[in-house]
Amino acid sequence: MKQDKRILTFTLHLLGRFMIFFAILLLIGFALQSKMNDSLNREVEKFSTHQGETLAFVYHNLLQTEIAELSKTAALIAAEKITPANGVQSISDKGQLGGLLDIHGQSIWGVALPAEARLQCARTLQGEPSWRYYKDVGLVVMVPVYQGNTVRYVLCKLHTNSSLRDKSSPFQFADKKDEENILLYDTRTQQVVVPFENYTDSPFYDADKDSPLGLDQLLAKLDSAQEAAIFDPKINADYVLYASPIPDTNFIAIGYREWRSVVTGITNIHLIVLWVFGLLVVLFCVFILYAFTNQVAAEESTALREARDEALRANQAKSDFLANMSHEIRTPLNAILGMNEMIMREASGKLKKYAFNVKSAGETLLSIINDILDFSKIESGKMEIVPVSYSLSSVLNDVYNMVNYKAGQKGLAFHMNVDPDIPDALIGDEVRLRQVVVNILNNAVKYTPNGSVTFTVKSQGTAENDTLELEFITQDTGIGIREEDKEKLFAKFQRLDIEKNRNIEGTGLGLAITVKLTEMMQGSISVDSIYGEGSTFTIRIPQQVEKYDPIGDFNTRIEAALREEEHYQESFTAPQSHILVVDDNDMNLTVVESLLEKTRVHIHTATSGKECLQLIAQNHYDIVFLDHMMPEMDGIETLQRAKTMTDSPCQHTPFIALTANAVAGVKEMFLAKGFNDYLAKPVDGKTLEHMVQKYLPPEKIEAAGENPSTTSQQIDLPTAMQYCGNDEEMQKKFLSMFVTRREAVTKLLEKDLTADNIADYTTHVHALKSTALSIGGVKLSEAAKALEMAGHAYCDGPEEEKADNLQYIKEHHGEAMELYAKLADEAKVRFSIQS
Ligand code: ADP
């Protein structure tokens, strides 16, 4: 349909052009025709002018011959060789009549001439031959007849009008063409002297003037030229008139010729015309061809443009689609990974193993999604490099943690050498820098079955403008890259050595992204590899220096960081704190709730910005986690509104953005919008706990960051408060009593135990279980409970289990007492209770 329409438009287009060109051609044709006619007419005139000249020449000759003949006869008469009568006789023939005149002009012999012929005779008597035309009579030629030196007679010859018109007349051309007519015009009498047959009936006879049409113009032309011709279609469209005066006479020879016959003679003009038209036709064809190909090309380029636009649109749609998937895929993945985290915490044995597999598959999926998203963002030009101030050591620390863990899992050694002189405070895109480095290191681990990965960080001299070039060298002892594969290495979706790498997960996007990002950061990447031995990837990226304080001994710092990690193994608790989590997705709320469950933080939830605003208007929260993408009112707008609520109990509460959108510069964007921090979804338990710990008021955090073996919290305040009706005084009193009695209770239990009095021991340990719980000693209470149960089993259970139960009591009694001691210590520190 579209195609048909296009063809129709195209044809109309072509037809339109054709018509325009045709019209132009017609105009040119007309102009050319008139020009051609003009020039043809000039050519015709020129050609005819020459004919006039020839005509005059011929007539002149004829007259000369006539005079010569007459003179010859005159000479014979003068010499008396013939008689005058014979002479006259000899020159007479049909309409040509001879005669001899005396000196008075009187006829002696032959023809008698009209009276006016005497004048002519008088002139001839002076010795000059003459010729003259007499209307209604004819042409008279006279020559003198001498006697000695004197003229005695005049010999004359009359060509009557009829004889002149006679084809056999000497004054008619023997070779005259049929279409040609000749007149003689006498300038003296201003008359046509020798008209041709039917002259007055001819198409150019002007009856009014008794002369040929156009004669006046012709004579006018002859005034200034020896010979002339005219062709004026206005006067006579069919005939050309040409003339030339006959020398030594008063006559003008005038010829008429049909225009067409003249033109036929001017073949070169015809040829020119033919050529011109031929050329025009060729031009026309060329034009049509040009217009056609042009049109086709235009059509094609339109089609190409449309296809390109279509492709661009499709590509844009693809990029938009992928970008939107960021939110859509990450959200459920967040839920899956979060839930899985909970399973991992609770589960044991096989279930834990399965959950771990889910985690690793989920994380792989997440990294693939991230790669695809990053790549689509780079392709659509939406990826931006956002320079921020950052600490290189913290980036390297993250890198170390990530890579070291993975390398460790594979049994690879991971070495890291960082030049201690590199400045730590730099400005650059920390996120992308980390991504690039981690990509290369992950590949090194991925493609190294055994051996080691060595990561070296150097900086290439501080240049001007406070910039330096960071150099990251990743060496592995892996499978290496074939020389011929190196070119393909950085192409998108390109994986090498497929046979060998069959079992290694990957999309072939990692290096393509790495290269693009490196280039976007004005950096470069190079690779050096020996197949089968290993590869070395070197990345160089310029960064700005913020401060010149050197990074120092990084390895030591890594160790310190690692210790800190260990320190953090156990999560803190903050039972008195309240956190509000806002997310339109219930699942996400559940995930956060579950992840923070162990911290005993009170989690409150809201599913919209509006609900959030209602809650913070009434209650105080220590932290608000606010999802970015929510229908109606998004996180940013919610925060902005919250900031305007000056009397809200959450005026000083930190707001942390929670979003699945982890694109470049997002953190900065959230900070600029007034958020205190930013947390990317899917949230992992450790990061979330870190964040909560960072923003909770320190006084609400209990036993955070202490070694679990010695200092995990023994007294759970909320439990204690529950048992003493939320009366702080009462709680302290109970606690004090409990601590004071420790020694006595310990002694009592030990006595029971040494006496193997398990029945009493069971009773006493039962009491300890209850009192411990009432002061919040949950762990001690549980330990006591276990001992009590073993005691009961010993006393009342089957005989064969007695020994086991006793052993359990003996083995775990000490632990319970240790917990009691710790509780007392804690009471001393936390509640200033002396034992
Ligand atoms: P992938 O997702 O397949 O790892 P990359 O773009 O990161 O994609 O890498 C492209 C290909 O380059 C890999 O499939 C692998 O064949 C090769 N490659 C990358 N790094 C290394 C390395 N350190 N040693 C050997 N081969 C490598």
Rg of the chain over Cα atoms, rounded to whole angstroms, equals 65
Confidence band (pLDDT; 50, 70, 90) for 706? very low
Return the higher-pLDDT residue of 505 and 454. Answer: 454
- Which residue has a Cα nearest atom 13 of ligand 1? 495
Q: Are 435 and 517 in contact (CB under 8 A)?
A: yes
Q: What is the reported pLDDT for 342? A: 75
**Ligand 1 atom at shortest distance from the alpha carbon of 513:** 6
- Between 587 and 215, the more confident residue is 215
The confidence score (pLDDT) of residue 587 equals 64
Averaged pLDDT, 601-628: 92
**C-alpha of 404 from chain center:** 44
Is 224 a residue whose pLDDT tops 70? yes
Amino acid in the structure at residue 157: K
Centroid of ligand 1 to alpha carbon of 513 (angstroms):
12
Q: Is the pLDDT of residue 505 over 70?
A: no
What pLDDT band is residue 494 in, cutting at 50, 70 and 90? low
- Which pLDDT tens digit goes with each residue over 727-747? 777 888 888 888 888 888 999
Are the C-beta atoms of 519 and 432 separated by less than 8 Å? no
* Strand, helix or coil for residue 388: strand
> How is residue 721 written in tokens?
């408060």
Question: Is the confidence at residue 801, as pLDDT, over 60?
Answer: yes
CB distance 758 to 794 below 8 Å: yes
Distance 526 CA to ligand 1 centre (A): 14
Cα separation, 774 vs 732, whole angstroms: 11
What is the mean pLDDT of the segment spanning 280-289?
A: 79
Residue 398, strand partner residues = none
Tokens of 221: 């032309």
Of ligand 1's listed atoms, the one at least distance from the Cα of 534 is 24
**Reported confidence tier of residue 639, pLDDT bands at 50, 70, 90:** very high
Alpha carbon of 426 to ligand 1 centroid (Å): 30
Ligand 1 atom with least separation from CA of 496: 16
Question: Ligand 1 centre and the CA of 474: distance in Å?
Answer: 13
Ligand 1 pocket, CB under 6 A: 443-444, 447, 476, 478-481, 489, 495-497, 501, 506-512, 535
Q: What is the pLDDT of residues 242-255, one digit of tens each?
A: 888 887 777 888 88
Sequence-ordered alpha helix ranges (H) in 79-116: 84-91
- pTM summary value: 0.42
Question: What letter does residue 105 receive in the DSSP assignment?
Answer: S
Q: Whose CA is nearest to atom 14 of ligand 1?
A: 495
Q: How far is the CA of 495 from the centre of ligand 1 (A)?
A: 6
Instruction: Give the C-alpha separation, 161 to 139, whole Å.
Output: 7
Identify which of 367, 488, 495, 500 to mutate to test ligand 1's pocket (most ligand atoms within 8 A of the CB): 495
By most ligand atoms within 8 Å of CB, the mutation choice from 410, 511, 535 for ligand 1 is 511
Which of 496, 504, 509, 530 has the most ligand 1 atoms within 8 A of CB, as the residue to mutate? 496
Mean pLDDT to the nearest integer, 56-79 = 85
| Of residues 150, 138, 157, 161, the one with CA closest to residue 100 | 157
690: amino acid identity, one letter: H
Candidate ranges 30-39, 491-500, 528-537; pick with highest mean pLDDT: 528-537
- Residue 340: C-alpha distances to residues 343, 360, 456, 550, 568 (Å): 5, 10, 36, 41, 21
567 — pLDDT class (breaks 50, 70, 90): very low
Model pLDDT, residue 446: 92
DSSP state of 93: B
Q: How many CB atoms lie within 10 A of CB 477?
A: 18
680-701 pLDDT, tens digit each = 765 667 778 888 988 998 888 8
Question: pLDDT tens, 88-128?
Answer: 888 887 778 888 888 888 888 888 888 888 888 888 888 88
pLDDT of residue 581: 94
Residue in the structure block whose two tokens are 């020449």: 57
Q: Find the range with the poorest average confidence among 164-173, 212-221, 526-535, 628-637.
A: 164-173
pLDDT digits 0-9 by tens, 394-403: 678 668 767 8
Residue 540 sits at φ, ψ, to 5 deg, of -120, 125
Share of the chain above pLDDT 90, in %: 17
Distance CA 683, CA 347 (A): 20
Q: Mapping DSSP to helix (H, G, I), strand (E, B) and coil, where does residue 196 land?
A: coil
Measured in Å, residue 651 CA sits from the centre of ligand 1 at 51
CA of 541 to the centre of ligand 1 (A): 21
pLDDT tier, 564 (very low <50, low <70, confident <90, very high otherwise): very low
For the chain, first and last CA: distance in Å? 96
d(CA 674, CA 670): 7
Ligand 1 geometric centre to CA of 488 (Å): 10
Return the ligand 1 atom nearest residue 490 CA.
6
Q: Which of 503 and 724 is assigned the larger pLDDT? A: 724
Q: Which of 443, 477, 482 to mutate to test the pocket of ligand 1 (most atoms within 8 A of CB)?
A: 443
* Cis previous bond, 550, omega within 30: no
Q: Copy the structure tokens of residue 677.
A: 């921090």
Nearest Cα to 467, choosing from 537, 375, 548?
548
In Å, how far are 32, 291, 353 from 29, measured between CA atoms? 5, 21, 95
The DSSP string of 110-156 is: EPPPPTTHHHHHHHHHTT--EEEEETTTEEEEEEEEEETTEEEEEEE
Q: Is residue 481 a contact partner of residue 535, using CB atoms and an 8 Å limit?
A: yes
466 token code pair: 């406070």
Q: Which residue has the higher pLDDT, 229 or 342?
A: 229
The token duo for 261 is 């016959």
Statement: residue 711 has pLDDT above 50:
no
Q: Which DSSP letter does residue 454 get? A: E
What pLDDT, on a 0 to 100 scale, did the predictor assign at position 559? 62
In contact, 73 and 87? CB cutoff 8 Å: yes
Which residues, other chains included, contact 161 with Cβ-Cβ below 8 Å and sequence gap of 6+?
Answer: 136, 137, 138
Q: Token pair of 61, please?
A: 């000759």
* pLDDT value of position 401: 67
- Backbone torsions φ then ψ of 750, nearest 5 degrees: -65, -35
Ligand 1 center to residue 507 CA distance, Å? 9
Beta bridge partners of 244: 253
- Return the SS3 of 747: helix
Q: What is the DSSP string of 143-186?
A: EEEEETTEEEEEEEEEEEHHHHHSTTSTTS-TT--TTEEEEEEE
Give the Cα separation of 517 and 436 in Å (integer): 7
Model confidence pLDDT, tens digit, residues 642-676: 999 988 899 899 999 987 655 556 788 899 999 99
614 pLDDT above the threshold of 90: yes
Residue identifier of the C-alpha nearest atom 25 of ligand 1: 480
CA 205 to centroid of ligand 1, rounded, Å: 108
Looking up tokens 């001899």 gives 100
| Average pLDDT of the residues in 465-489 | 90
Which token pair is 454? 């060595």
Work out the mean pLDDT of the chain and round it to a whole number. Answer: 81
* Residue 140 phi, psi dihedral angles, 5° rounding: -115, 125
